[in-house]
Amino acid sequence: MLPMKQFLFISFLFFLSQNTFAQQISGRLIDANTREAIPYVLVATNSASAFTNEDGGFSLKALSNDTVKINLMGYKPLNLPVTNWGSQQRLITMEPAYRQLGEVTITAQRNHYRDSVNLRKEYAKQFNFRGPRFNEIFLAPSQYVPFAVMSINVTQLYKALTKKRDPNYKLQQTLLRDERESHVSARFNKALVASISHLKGDSLDNFMSAYRPTPAVLDKLNDYDLVRYIKTNLEKSKVSATRLDDLPVMLKPGQSLE
């Protein structure tokens, strides 16, 4: 019969092994309101991570004492324990979140993601276009031919030199640029800017045109930073307008420059 200390130690090891047992879990994310799948979302645990596919499905390994964490802009974050997850795919509904940032309410905007995916499918050839690689232009000599030297594939060399004139390359660059600008338009949109600035009509259009962020700038801004960006530039525009109003009047009423 085992002494009590050994029994407790073995029991502890057994308990620990049960809590750290790795298992394969799977799930599918859907919008709680529309019941549509939510694709391309990062799902993570302390030990692994995976992105959902086009149907919102995911699969990854997790420890039995892990927690599945899902964070997506526009939705309430989820922390789901792996315990009792089971071997079947779990249906996970995500509730839209309305984040109040000062005077602004931000809701989920997902249509541009779907448009981007569809566009990449339709123009897969152009998106995947590339010029010849180095080893496709300069061919290594055969080890079976004495005194052989490196040869050049003239056709591939020509393609490399004329790559930027290729219609597929030009269309690829246009598609990539349009995709980036579409992403900017989806986040820096009229509804958001109008709710912060209270501008309307031409004033709103002029402000959005003057202070539209570049894709590189927007990539660095989260929701809160974007609101601050708009408010900061709104103050700049007001200061500029005030300075124009303070310029001295050089002409008397009724006079013209003609």
57 close to 28: Cβ distance less than 8 angstroms: yes
Residues spanned by the domain of 27: 19-97
Place of tokens 């180095």: 134
Co-location of 29 and 118 in the same domain: no
Same domain, 33 and 115: no
Instruction: Judge if 123 and 235 occupy the same domain.
Output: yes
pLDDT digits (tens, 9 = 90+) for 180-238: 888 888 889 888 999 998 999 999 999 999 999 998 898 888 988 899 999 999 998 88
Q: Does 91 reside within a domain? A: yes
115 and 90 part of one domain: no
* Buried/exposed 209-242: b ≥16 CB within 10 Å, e otherwise: eebebeeeebeebeeeebbebbbebbeebeeeee
Are residues 53 and 173 both part of a single domain?
Answer: no
pLDDT tens-digit profile of 159-193? 677 777 777 777 777 777 877 888 888 889 888 99
Say whether both 197 and 120 belong to one domain.
yes
Whether residue 102 lies inside any domain: the answer is no
Same-domain pairing of 82 and 120: no
Judged against a pLDDT cut of 80, whether residue 51 lies above it is answered with: yes
Domain count, the chain: 2
What pTM does this model have?
0.39
Same domain for 215 and 180: yes
